[in-house]
Chain A
Amino acid sequence: MEKKFGPMMQMAFVVEDFDKPIEFWTQKMNIGPFFKLEHLNVKDVYYMDQTTNLDFSVAIAYTGNMQIELVNQHCDTPSIYNEYVNNEKGPLHHLCTLTDDFDNDVRILESQGYINLQGGKTQDNGKFAYLDTKDREGPILEIAQLSEAGLGFFDIMQEASKNWDKKTAVMDIGEVRV
């Protein structure tokens, strides 16, 4: 029995609004363009074992093979994005890795002392979960199993970063020529 997940492919930061951070990442860190996914329509969302309903948006860009995700929660519902972190762990919120066998990996991680804190599903049955160890040794770990369409979506955004003009801060997915 071994974990199937691959290399870390995303680092995520919780932000209060998108405009300033996107300006920061594009103008100072040379990372862009960002794609905004507003009011994500995910289902079966849970936090600390209870069903919940979170209103949040994300903005995504790539630096090389690493995805940068900015998360902005719009509601005050307790979640891993607000009350869980309290900025204790520095600016990074979580690292994400993709897997082909979500249930297998979550089971092994739980056997290693991880707690499945929050998660949900996408409309096309992609699955994701945020896990952390009790003693919070390292970054929160997100495990995701995406649909083919979800993976294709990430590819398009990564491709856009390779051909970026270093000026356009935000793009729509439809604008990307592939």
Chain B
Amino acid sequence: MEKKFGPIMQMGFIVEDMDIAIDFWTKKMNVGPFIKLEGIELIDQYYKGKPADLDFSGALSYSGSMQIELIKQHCDTPSLYNEYVNNEKGGLHHLCCLTQDIENDIRILESQGYINLQGGKTQDNGQFAYLDTPERERPIFELTQLSEGGLTFFAMIEEAAKNWDKKTTLMEAEIIL
């Protein structure tokens, strides 16, 4: 029995203001363009063992082969994005790896002391879970199993970053589709 997940492919940051954060990453860190994901409709969301209905937006870009994710939660519902990290903004929130067998990997990680804290599914049955150890040894760990459509979407954003003009801070999904 071994874990199937690959290299870390995403660094996630919680931000207070999406526009300010995108401005920072594009102008100062030379990372862009960002694709905003607004009104994400997830299903079966949970936090600490209970169903949770979270209203949040994301923005994605790539630095080389590393995805940068910015997350802004719009509601005060307790979640991994606010109370769990003491509402700390700006710092690294989590690292994410993709896997082809999320249940296998969660089972092994749980046997290694991880707690499955939060997660859910996308409309096309992609699945994700955030895990952390009780001692909070290191960054929160996210595992994701994406649909083919989800993988293609990520590949398009990565491609857009390779061909970035270093000026356009935001791109619409349609432009790269």
Contacts and interface: CB of A to CB of B under 8 A. Distances in A.
A68 B64 CA distance: 15
B90 to A, nearest CB: 6
A7 B92 contact: no
Interface residues of B, number: 40
A177 interface: no
Contacts of A156: none
B69 to A, nearest CB: 13
B66 A90 contact: no
A7 B63 contact: yes
Nearest to A65: B65
Given A8-B31, A8-B66, A137-B24, A63 B114 contact: no
A75 interface: no
Interface residues of A, number: 40
Contacts of B95: 29
A28 B139 contact: no
A8 B92 contact: no
A112 B27 contact: yes
Interface in B62-121: 62-66, 85, 88, 90-93, 95, 97, 109, 112, 114
Interface of B: 2-3, 5-9, 11, 13, 20-21, 24-25, 27-31, 62-66, 85, 88, 90-93, 95, 97, 109, 112, 114, 133, 137-139, 141, 166
